Amino acid sequence: MSHRLIDGLFGSLLAVLASFPLCDVTEDDLTQNPQFCKLLVILAKHMDRTGLTASLKAELEKAEQNLQSQRRQWLHTEVLHRSLQEMIQDRHVRKTEPPDQSMLHETMEKCLLVAECVRQLDPSDTTNQEPPFVLGLTPQNVKELMPADKDVQRMRQALPKHLEKHLREKCLTLLSYYHESEGLKTVKMSHLSGLLDKEKTRAESLRGTCQENRLLLQRQTQLYISELIKCIQLLQTLILDHRLKIQTDLDGKKLDYLEGKCQLVLQKLNSAGHVHTRLNFCSQKNKARIFFSFQFLINTKNILTHGGSLLKTHFVCLQREAGV
């Protein structure tokens, strides 16, 4: 009895877990909470595995069936509409057809155009929006452009036959595309050697074109590299010229500064007559030092002056060598 009771409890636990697969509940949870387990057992009688009640599930199935029905109806209408448009396009491509078929296609094209305009002017069938006013037109104004009732009636009588013929041709085209007939395969095999020769000639032509493009690309790359080197050399020349100009300006400013400083020193020496007695006490060594310092400043000025001209001359020589 105990084993049967345990087996029964274990079976009920498994049934509860199977009834609610979306719930994150384990056997230990159900064992530790027997009242919750009883609640789940009761709910399992009124709910399915997805958590829906019987009435809600029936409503959902009914809504899905209604949706599928409307979808099939829309697909039928859309297929019919596109087939009619394809018939009109084929008529424009052929440009030659019997008079009766020409009248049929013209009437059908006018009817489709008027129906499309009416749908654009009055979308109340598909939406709850107010009908827009385009140039003050109403659906009734557009319907007045429909062909004569006699032509429309004749089109309706002849249209099913032509539509069936058009759909049969499409089906045969589609079937022959996926399942080729033996005659078509034989014709293709007979022309296979010619097709291979054409493809071989085309491949050789493409290979020659690729070779020419590769050589042209190499020439363009070399030309680009040479032009790039010239641009780099010109840029280096401009940088060197700019540096020499800046250095010349700096040397001129330094010379002006040293010249002004020398003149200031000479003015101070000339204006120091009242301290002549102090100069007499200066040793011969100090006088010589002052003289050599002054002479050094003059020599520095001359060197900097001639150095700028020498740098310019050297730069001109470098430019000539680069040009050669």
Q: Is the dihedral of CA 207, 208, 210, 215 positive or negative?
A: positive
134-164, pLDDT tens digit by residue? 666 777 787 888 888 888 888 888 888 888 8
Tell me which of 51-60, 159-168, 203-212 is least confident: 51-60
Span of 61-65, 127-131, 197-201, 313-317 with lowest mean pLDDT? 313-317
- 142: exposed, middle or buried (C-beta count within 10 Å: 0-12, 13-18, 19+)? buried
Q: Which of 9-13, 56-60, 202-206 has the lowest mean pLDDT?
A: 9-13
pLDDT at 281: 44
In the chain, what are the domain boundaries? 12-51, 56-179, 194-273+286-323
Cβ atoms within 10 Å, residue 164: 10
Q: Please, what is the Cα angle at 294 between 289 and 300, to 5 degrees?
A: 125
Confidence at residue 298, expressed as pLDDT on a 0 to 100 scale: 60
pLDDT at res. 13: 62
Residues forming beta bridges with residue 47, ordered by sequence position? 53
Work out the mean pLDDT of the chain and round it to a whole number.
74
- For 52, left (φ over 0), alpha (ψ -120 to 50), or beta? beta
Mean pLDDT of 229-245: 86
SS3 for the chain is CHHHHHHHHHHHHHHHHHHCCCCCCCHHHHHHCHHHHHHHHHHHCCECCCCCEHHHHHHHHHHHHHHHHHHHHHHHHHHHHHHHHHHHHHHHHHCCCCHHHHHHHHHHHHHHHHHHHHHHHCHHHCCCCCCCCECCECHHHHHCCCCCHHHHHHHHHHHHHHHHHHHHHHHHHHHHHHCCCHHHHHHHHHCHHHHHHHHHHHHHHHHHHHHHHHHHHHHHHHHHHHHHHHHHHHHHHHHHHHHHHHHHHHHHHHHHHHHHHHHHHHHHHHCCHHHHHHHHCCCHHHHHHHHHHHHHHHHHHHHHHHHHHHHHHHHHHHHHHHHC
pLDDT band at 114 (very low <50, low <70, confident <90, very high): confident
Highest mean pLDDT pick, 206-215, 238-247, 295-304: 206-215
Average pLDDT over residues 174-192: 69
pLDDT at 22 over 80: no
Q: Decide if 147 contacts 107 (C-beta within 8 A).
A: yes
- The percentage of the chain sitting over the pLDDT mark of 90, rounded to a whole number, equals 8
pTM: 0.41
Tell me the residue length of the chain.
324
Q: Mean pLDDT, to the nearest integer, of 21-49?
A: 73
The answer, yes or no, to whether residue 45 has pLDDT greater than 50, is yes
